[in-house]
């Protein structure tokens, strides 16, 4: 159902006031509550991808008793250079910090959701894959295949001295699954009926299973360790190599590593010879 112009204007004004109140803050969340609606706002490329992913997963959850509760997308609109994602406000909620099995159940469902036809990696809206292993949390491309992503991650290992270099990765046989790469406990909660809820879909997208496994098993967060235990997950053969690649990607200036979206080495661009006066 479309919102009235007056409600849209009220949301725009509320968000502008929120911006003014936090303009001196080093970091703040661009989100506000408007009645029974939760609003995230920002620039199109940042919000659109999570909007389409949340919308897709919500539609997948409808009528599925095993699905977590996902806030419904109510509206997505633009004003000047800002976009506004309006979703259902689930209130009240209770922390899920004592419910690792419920969170694991939400992840089991998420991992079973089929990707849209033709979709390979990244968010449903078309955004680059996001994960803590990538520089600035984002891959340089929407890689064209799992092989291309594997080439990229293995390329990063070449920067590690041979004596300490871990083995090359092989995740071509991994299932491609929807992954919540930001496993912060605030992205999960229990509603008044004790049903597990999922929030914040900015870092949700399709990746090989080893990336999801890494998120849970390589963290020092004891809650994530409990969730991993509920899933029966331990570190796999790629975990050490993924961690090594991630340590390189954080430091290196060229996040593409000289590869293209297909995982192939980019051809070197020859400089045109300057005209020489005779």
In CATH, what number is assigned to the domain containing residue 47?
Answer: 3.30.200
Residue 228 lies inside a defined structural domain of this protein: yes
Do 86 and 174 lie in one domain? The reply is no
**Tens of pLDDT along 234-243?**
999 999 999 9
Residue 269 predicted with pLDDT over 60: yes
Residue 275 predicted with pLDDT over 60: no
**Tens of pLDDT along 249-267?**
999 999 999 999 999 999 9
**Tens of pLDDT along 65-84?**
999 999 999 999 999 999 99
Position 2 confidence tier, pLDDT thresholds 50, 70, 90: confident
**Per the structure block, which two tokens stand in for 32?**
């506000």
Name residue, tokens 């939400």: 106
Which residues contact residue 220 at a Cβ distance below 8 angstroms, ignoring those fewer than 6 apart? Answer: none
What confidence score (pLDDT) does residue 268 get?
A: 80
CB atoms within 10 A of CB 195: 15
Residue 72 lies inside a defined structural domain of this protein: yes
- Mean local confidence (pLDDT), 5-20: 97
Residue 92: cis peptide before it, omega within 30 degrees of 0: yes
Q: Are 106 and 182 in contact (CB under 8 A)?
A: no
Do 20 and 116 lie in one domain? The reply is no
Do 10 and 113 lie in one domain? The reply is no
**Per the structure block, which two tokens stand in for 238?**
């790629």
Residue 277 predicted with pLDDT over 60: no
Do 115 and 219 lie in one domain? The reply is yes
What confidence score (pLDDT) does residue 278 get?
A: 46
Do 146 and 201 lie in one domain? The reply is yes
Residue 119 lies inside a defined structural domain of this protein: yes
209 — alpha (psi -120 to 50), left (phi > 0) or beta?
alpha
Do 25 and 124 lie in one domain? The reply is no
What confidence score (pLDDT) does residue 3 get?
A: 87
Domain finish residue from 33, 58, 91: 91
Residue 204 lies inside a defined structural domain of this protein: yes
**Dihedral, 174, 175, 179, 184 alpha carbons, nearest 10:** -50
For the four alpha carbons of 148, 153, 159 and 162, in that order, the dihedral sign comes to negative
- Mean local confidence (pLDDT), 150-155: 98
Do 21 and 45 lie in one domain? The reply is yes
Q: What domain count does the chain have?
A: 2
Position 45 confidence tier, pLDDT thresholds 50, 70, 90: confident
35 — alpha (psi -120 to 50), left (phi > 0) or beta?
left
Beta-bridge mates of residue 188: 198
Do 98 and 87 lie in one domain? The reply is no
- Mean local confidence (pLDDT), 96-106: 97
Portion of the chain with pLDDT greater than 70, in percent: 96
pTM of the predicted protein model:
0.93
Task: Give which of 203, 202, 254 is closest to 43, Cα–Cα.
Answer: 202
**Tens of pLDDT along 26-44?**
999 999 999 999 999 999 9
Average pLDDT, the chain: 95
Range of the domain at 245: 94-251
What gap in Å lies between CA 263 and CA 171, rounded to an integer? Answer: 14
């Amino acid at each position: 159902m479309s919102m009235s112009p007056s409600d849209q204007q009220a949301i725009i004004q509320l968000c502008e006031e929120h911006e003014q109140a936090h303009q001196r803050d080093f970091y703040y969340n661009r989100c506000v509550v408007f009645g029974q609606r939760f609003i995230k706002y920002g620039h199109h490329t940042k919000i659109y991808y999570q909007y389409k992913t949340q919308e897709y997963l919500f539609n997948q959850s409808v009528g599925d008793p095993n699905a977590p509760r996902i806030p419904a997308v109510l509206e997505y609109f633009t004003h000047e250079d800002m976009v506004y994602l309006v979703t259902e406000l689930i209130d009240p909620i209770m922390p899920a910090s004592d419910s690792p099995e419920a969170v694991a159940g939400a992840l089991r469902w998420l991992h079973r959701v089929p990707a849209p036809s033709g979709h390979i990696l990244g968010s449903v809206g078309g955004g680059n894959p996001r994960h803590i292993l990538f520089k600035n949390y984002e891959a340089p491309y929407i890689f064209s295949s799992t092989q291309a992503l594997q080439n990229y991650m293995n390329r990063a290992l070449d920067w590690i001295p041979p004596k300490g270099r871990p083995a090359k990765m092989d995740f071509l046989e991994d299932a491609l699954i929807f992954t919540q790469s930001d496993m912060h406990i605030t992205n999960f909660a229990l509603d008044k009926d004790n049903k597990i809820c999922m929030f914040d879909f900015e870092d949700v997208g399709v990746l090989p299973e080893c990336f999801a496994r890494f998120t849970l098993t390589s963290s020092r967060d004891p809650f994530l360790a409990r969730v991993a235990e509920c899933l029966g997950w331990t570190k796999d053969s790629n975990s050490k190599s993924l961690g090594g690649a991630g340590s390189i990607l954080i430091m290196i200036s060229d996040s593409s590593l000289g590869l293209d979206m297909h995982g192939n080495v980019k051809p070197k661009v020859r400089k045109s010879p300057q005209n020489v006066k005779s």
